[in-house]
Structure 1
Amino acid sequence: MRLTKLKLAGFKSFVDPTMVALPGQLVGVVGPNGCGKSNIMDAVRWVLGESKASELRGESMQDVIFNGSSNRKPVSRASVELIFDNSLGRAMGQWSQYAELSVKRVLTRSGQSDYLINNIKVRRKDITDLFLGTGLGPRAYAIIGQGMISRIIEAKPDELRVFLEEAAGVTRYKERRKETEGRLADTRENLLRVEDIRLELAGQMERLEAQAAVARQYHQLNDELTLKQQVLWVLRRNEAKAEQQRFAMEIERAGTDLEGQTAALRDIEAQLEASREAHFAASDGVHQAQSDLFAVNADVARLETEIRHQRESGVQLESRLAQLEGEQQHWQEQAERLDMDEERWRELQLVAEGRQEQAQMKLEARQERLPMAEEAQAAAQEALNQQRAEMAKVEQALQVEQTHRSHAERTLQSIAQRRDRMEQERESLADPDTSELDLKTEELAEQQERLIALQDKLGAAQGELPQLEARRRELLEEVQAAVKDVADVRARRAALEQLQDRVQSGGKVGEWLCRHGLESRTPLWKRLEVDAGWEDAVEAVLRERLNAVSLEDPAALAALVDDKPAGKLTLLLSGAAEAPAGGLLGRIRCHEPALAGVLADWLHGIDGVDSMEAALQRRASLAPGQLLVTREGHLLSRHSLTLFAPDSAEHGLLERQREIEALAAALDDKQLAVETAQARLAEVEERIAAGQSDSQNLRRRTQEQQDRIHTLQMEVMRQNQILERIRERHAQIEQAAAELAAEEEVEQERLFIADEAIAQQRENLDALHARFAGVRARLEEADRALREEREALANVEREHREAQFSLREAEGKLAEVANNRVMSQRQLQRIADDLAQCRQTRENLQVEILEPKLQEALEQRVLREQALAAQREAMENATQALRQLEEQRLKIEQGLNPMRDRVGELRLKEQAAALNVEQLTAQLLEAGANEEVLAEQAQAFAGTKASSLQSSIGSLQKAILELGAVNLAALEELESATQRKQFLDDQAEDLNTAMETLENAIRRIDKETRDLLQATYDTVNRHFGELFPTLFGGGEARLVMTGDEILDAGVQITAQPPGKKNATIHLLSGGEKALTAIALVFAMFQLNPAPFCLLDEVDAPLDDSNTERFAEMVKRMSANTQFLFISHNKIAMEMAQQLVGVTMQESGVSRIVEVDIAEALRMREQVAA
């Protein structure tokens, strides 16, 4: 990688853009003192990343920008660019693919410094990495400035080791080690954070494990409760099945008894049936006699009526005959009209059939002609489409040519406009006004001061946020604790209320209350206030009466007593009474007068004592019937002691109610505490939000200020670049004018070709248009013929449809005429029949014959009345016998009713048992119980009674209640926390592994560095020992380590010129020090040759003989390294292949004069020849 060009602009004394070409391996820079030669060395060091102004012989980095002279104004930016030949691909990293590399640095007065590689903005580190290990760098051994020779030789051991490391190329190892140490520190920090999280998680898991244990206990108790409840349901179902079977057997026995009595009843009923038959026979005789009498009476009445009726019927028949004759004439006329209609519609039917046949023939003819017309039209349409396609092609070609012509015209117009614009631009180009630049510079300084003030405010605003965050975390923990307390109290209260509601619902008693509309009545225990500590005493005395409900209507008692509840229940009857004070009653308060008398009755003679000792002391003085009750509920009389124990789910009603009320009050207090903590938290969060908003605002304003500063910097840079762009633009305008002239000539030629093509295409288009008119006329004729055919076909189809309609109409009318004829014939036949019947009836009227028959019937009626009297006497005797049998049957039936009731009652009980079985089965199904598994589990409860299971279930419910608030999500949270702990453990293990890997990497880097340094040290020491005698003509020199660890040890130089026994390097003269330093630098070069080497007057302390030896060595080393040296020594100048002269004809401004030595020698030889 060889340096080929050096470009400077605005850097120190090189104010004008200057390019230094470096084609050779030995380039000498010459010129008088103070002309700016060393500025070239400073420029190279600066572009390679030097950030210390003192190393560039300045007080600040702004000093590298040209600061003006007597004839020149200061400039706003400095830039230096190095051009390298990288055809061998020796550049490192992504830049190895480029054949040429450009490394550039730009600095503005605003302080903005940009690094670029191949015009791509990069970091300073990227520049350093590009030359890492090559000996190049801002302070590497390949750039030897003025006075640096003496500094090298007199450097401290640690400073001298830096040069050795650069020669060994271990700087990239040190960078890797530094990055690895950084990653190792980050890994340790991450591990500490992970350990903190693990520690916090361990405490959380400890709490969760306790909660999970409670949750598991809850699940265990709940599972056991569920199992026992289901087993209880199974036992009760089995009991219900047994009851159902028992009731079925009793039903069978009762049925047998019932059948026996029923058989006896059947015998009586058989006798009764015989008696009834006798009675029926007598009754039939009576009925027959009555019937005969009634028949005779009927005959008498009939004959009388018939005689009267026949006389009236004669008149009616004459009227009916006249009416029927009129109707007969009407229907005969209707038949004649139907004959005429039938004849007319048959003629119309014949005409319609003829019209249909003609229309069908026309339709078929038109349908045959239509396809021919369609084919002719399609052929004409196809011809027209082909003609249109040809015309479209020609029009497209014409359009293309017109597009070409338009494009050529637009291009020519654009060329003319561009030429005018360039002329206007050439005339308008002028030197920029620098007054605006000065104003922008002053504004930039003011904006930078404002930025510093904003940054100070931002730092102050951000400093308060950590304290507020800490306070917020404290308040958040307080709120969470208060919320947890509220949740615990609410859960305890909800559990107690749920238990109270479950107890109040009362099972079968609750069903009885619902059945009688009493479920909404408030139980007694809710209407009482008992002194604290006396709840058990009151419960022990009142027991199930605590659940008593009021009954306002005593009249309903009878109905309620008939339908007894499944458990004990007390009903309170209305009515107020005075309640005496004292005794246990004094421990109870109620605000309802109706309850005072009830409690007085129930608690009469019962007194409360604080302890059993006090009760025993008062036992002897108790009156008969008087009781003492302790706080624990134990009852003491004169002769007995009843110990109280909770034996039902109702136990604790009063105490639970008191606790519910206390929890409600506590819940309000804790809710208030939550709201207070939340208010404080909201206030702190508000302050945090305000602080964050202020910080955000300040950051935004700082960013805006930075943007403004950046804008100003860019504006200053832009104005500095305007002048350079003006010059470049002048050259571009001239070049563009020449290009425009050539482009205009080409476009004129294209315009001419396009005009000729357009004319040809227009001729072709005109011919096609002429042919298109004929084709279109033929298509129009074909369309007209097709349209006429379609219209004719439509007319024929319409005629065909009309003929069909007429034919169907005639056929319909004929059918209607036929139907009317049938109906007319039926009416005529009916009228004829009616006429015949009326005439026959008129002929049958014989009033004279009926009168003798009436006299005979009157005589027969007297005989029949005598027979009826005899039959009635016989029926009375049969009725007496039947009544006796009925009495016997009724007696047996009265005995059957209780037996039937018994059977019905047993069947109801059987149905109730079956209903219990169904309900329990439904409960098991609803609970999702597996019958087979449950049957196996129920074997463990063989022999256990249902009451025992119920008691066990109550104990389990109490145990679950005693667990308090249960975090059912604790198991899942614990599992999640366990997984997270496992993840953190894995992460910690990964971090430990990463730390071990990084430590191994550091050890490996140290080993490689140590081995490389040791080899470098040995090699450089050997080369140094060889070069020193070469430069001095004898003597010896070597490098000495100052420590045992080569990574930390310094390096000292021991040198003894020929004939000298000096103890230290400081005893050498200036020339000897210079030669020693040169020997050391060249020894490093032989190990790791840098791409190029800059030497700034290193030969100044040397005499001619030493200079010659120095020059010879440089020549030898130039085979591998490019040398750019500054010298005033003629001997050194003679070895240069190219001389670069630096002059300062204009005060304060350096300029370059290049001299190619080989070319100059050739010119001299040509002149001499």
Structure 2
Amino acid sequence: MFLKSLKIFGFKSFPDSVSLDFSNGITSLLGPNGCGKSNIVDAIKWVLGEQSTKTLRAGRMEDVIFNGTDTRKPLQVAEVSLVVSNENQVLPSDAPEIEIKRRIYRSGESEYFINNTRVLLKNIKELFLDTGVGKSAYSILEQGKIDQILSSRPEDRRYIFEEAAGISRFKAQSQDAERKLEKTDENIQQVEIILREVRRNYETKKNQASKAITYRELKKEQFTLEVDLQLSTLKSYIMLQNSKEEQKVRGERELENQKGSLVSFDEEILELQERMRGLGSQRISIQTELQRLDEAIKGRADKLDLLTVRFRDFLQRKEEAGSRSQDILERIERDKQEIDEKFSTMADIDDSIEELNNEIEKNQKGIDRTRALITSQNQEISETEIEDIALDEEMDALSEQLKRLTDVIVIELEEKLKASGYNLEEKKVALTAFEEKLRYVSSSVSDHEQFLQKLKTTGFSSEELLSQELKFQGTLGVGLNSLRTLFETYLSHEASFIDDLISPEGIITEKHGVDRAMGEKRKMLSSNRERISYLREENAKLSSSLEAYQAAISDQRVALNQLIGQKESAREWIAKLQRSVTEQEYQYRDAVKLADSAQEGIYETQEDIRGVESEVAEMKSTIASMNEELKDLIVRIEELGSSIREKQGKKDSSYEQIQAIKSDVEKLGYQIEQLGENITAIYTNFFDNYGKSLKEYENRLTEDIVDIPVLKANLDEVKKRIASMGYINQMAEDEFSEIKEQYDFLTKQMDDLNKAKEDLASVVLEIKTRSEELFLATYRQISTNFQEMFRRLFGGGRAELKLVDPENVLVSGIDILAQPPGKKLTHLSLLSGGERSMTAVALLFATYQVKPSPFCVLDEIDAALDDRNIGFFLSVLQEFAQKSQFIIITHNKHTVMGSDTLLGVTQVEAGVSTMVSYRIGRVAGESVILNDEAQAVSFDETGSVAP
């Protein structure tokens, strides 16, 4: 399965119908910033079912429809079609090609199609489950999604592993089964509620039929007792009403007699109250005068207090004025002395200012010398860096030459080995034969020497010894000839062409020369880098010295400003003190005048105090005589009040009797009226309850009727029996038959629901067990692959995957720890942008090793990678491109040149994206990018392809 084509119409910046045909391997999607490249990725995600407007970079879903430009009107519909090859039946369909289409209207209505058949969104999602393809699977990886993978919560990274493990479909099935299980539980609860109610009715209906006859008999007896009770009550009400009317007539006569006695009490009380008012006026007049005198005394007391305060104030003023005049004389003397001291301080400040100016001049000269030295050393650093750049270029050239020589050595070695017929096995056989023959000859020589020695000891003559020696030498000559032949055979198997390779003119010697040249360049680079490092350290020290000079000058200037400020402050302070001395001399004269004025006030206040004390004594004498008069008046008023209260009490007692009699009469009238209403109510209630008139039974009023308590007791007993029977349903038998049928149906339904619940629970358990096994197996494979891929992409280091909650595998988050070479093992948030990108790519490719996605879209994930990491990335990408189809949006030249196919996006018309196709060709023996007219194109300064 791979992506064949993508057709876009009206989606974002593509108002015209645009078709993109994709091929196997790596396809680079090129174009300047803002031309609409990422809109193609959005289109793929959108047609695969993306519902998040934030992910699609839109405010609402209708915003994906082309919104118009200055020269074009907005469209009313957007449509994206994606054609996927399915020849290997990876997708659950027999069709060799599957077209996924999504359409949206400006009204907000959306449509989904599979092979032009309208479907639901969930059908599209189910089609790609567990394939690695989908709007949230690992088939689409963007720069922003890298941060999402690496920075999101550990629980949010599970989707990659679930998709690779192939449990997404199981997870969907498990969720569906759990929803059905929840629905079954709800149905069971509902049936249980209904069954409880039906069971209760079932038992109730069973007993209701037997109660009907007993109920009718008791109701008949109740009616008879009710008639007797109502007649007895009616008779009692009529007799009580007649008695109340007689009592009311007697009360009205007694009420008239009592009203006459109230008139005499009113006349006596009125006369006493008139006398009381006269005495009260006198009392008020005396009390008013006493109050006036009391207020006058209080006023005099306040005045006396005020005069006393004033007297003390004058005394204090006199004392303060004398003290103040003395203080002013002392301050005048101190200020004059301080003026002399300030003049001396100003002279010292002038000396300090001259000294600071000299120090500032010295430090400024030090700054000039330090800056000149830093400039000189920076110039040397720049020149050395330029030299390093030239050395780097020479190193690159030597590296290319070394690579070429290595390839030539390998080719020549292989060709010469074939031409020479060199055979390692034959060489080993020849060497073994030579070594065996050599050991034989050596052994023979040793044995012959021992033999001759033995002959000498046994007394053989010289001639015999010589004969044996000549005989042995003949044999030894034959052996040496054979040994020489074997050695020549061994030498014939030696690779003589190696001498040509390592000769002074040979290619290996040339390679050694390149190696030595590269070593010398490396030493020069190392020496230059050490010199640059040394100069930069010296510059850093000089910068510190420069900062120290500048800080010293800054501090000295601050101190100089402070001294100047102190001198100015001293000058101002002298002027202020001189003004103060003049003002204090005036204040001294004012203080002397104030003391004289205070003494005059003391004499005047003493006279006023004596006059007020005399007035207060006269007023107190008048108050004493008026209090005696007031006491006599209060006694007379109390005697009159006592008489009035006595008369009022008698009047109140008589009035209360009248009110009591009047209340009794009114109460009797109300009771008579109430009895009439009760009699009427008896007739009305009886008719309302039984539909008959009680007057039909009035002829029995003259008869003796059983007492009301006895009737009530009998009636209550009958009512209790009826009440104890509960509700009586005359149709109970028919209703019981219907209830029984319903009860049997619900019981069977409950059994079926419980069986279905057990089956669903078993399915959920089986799915979770299988999912956990698949997930753990995939997790372990990805973890192992991730460590290997991380080391491969980073050229070392290590990385780990870690389950946050190993006890709950299906919900556990996954932590990622990474340790690039030379760093400590750390969390991803502390890595650089390039390291984070490479870590995400390592995780992506580790997942691909377990379950490769048929196709993958990479949106500028190489943006943060340097040239070295791009090389690692491309080598791995080209390896995986043998099994998967890659579409990569990029601005990187190396990525572009490593692609098989190129697609370009541009905006000839502002706001309108169009497609341009490119291909890889060769011009002058070099790989270049050609457009449709076979014209070479190059990269502009933004990294985009430009003609």
| TM-score bracket, shorter-length normalisation | 0.3 to 0.5
Computing the radius of gyration from Cα coordinates, the structure with the larger value is 1
The alignment's TM-score, normalised by the length of structure 2, stands at 0.43
